[in-house]
Amino acid sequence: YRGIRQFIKRSWSPGPVPTLTIGGMAFQDAWNIDILRIMRCSVQIIGRDHRLIPLCSKYLTSLRGEKIHPGIS
């Protein structure tokens, strides 16, 4: 996990042209989950247990409103 962060700090830098990126995401919960969308999600988060978790499921909750991935803030 730490090695990945160091690699990103060393290799990613701003380009010569200033840009603004705007992104949007529809949140999902137990009532409107789209499994195919989660499977196609190209942005991943590294969990505390070092698993890759699709960003599309970051705020996914159970029927009782509990977070499915509680270790991610």
Predicted confidence (pLDDT) per residue in 38-64, tens digit? 888 888 888 888 888 888 888 788 888
Q: Is the pLDDT of residue 29 over 80?
A: no
Q: How far apart are CA 35 and CA 28, in angstroms?
A: 10
Contacts 24+ apart (CB under 8 A), 30-38: 30/60, 30/61, 30/62, 30/63, 33/60
Q: Which two tokens stand for residue 62?
A: 């159970």
Q: Which two tokens stand for residue 64?
A: 């009782």
Global pTM?
Answer: 0.52
